[in-house]
Amino acid sequence: MNEKELTPQELADRWGITRVWLYTLKSRKQVPRYRTHGLGSKARITFPLSEVEKFENQHFGLKE
Does residue 64 lie within any of the structural domains?
no
CB 16 within 8 A of CB 1: no
Say what the pLDDT of residue 63 is.
Answer: 56
- Determine contact, residues 41/63, Cβ cutoff 8 Å: no
Residue-number span of the structural domain to which 30 is assigned:
5-59
Q: What is the pLDDT of residues 5-62, one digit of tens each?
A: 999 999 999 999 999 999 999 999 999 999 999 998 889 999 999 999 999 999 887 5
Q: What is the reported pLDDT for 41?
A: 86
In a domain, 16, yes or no: yes
Is residue 64 pLDDT above 90, yes or no? no
Position 36 in a domain: yes
Number of domains in the chain: 1
Rounded CA gap, 13 and 38, in Å? Answer: 24
List, in order, residues 6 or more apart from 32 with CB less than 8 Å away.
Answer: 47, 48, 51, 52, 54, 55
Residues whose CB is less than 8 angstroms from the CB of residue 12 and which lie 6 or more positions away in sequence, other chains included: 18, 19, 21, 22
Q: What is the pLDDT of residues 49-62, one digit of tens each?
A: 999 999 999 988 75
Q: For the whole model, what pTM was predicted?
A: 0.85
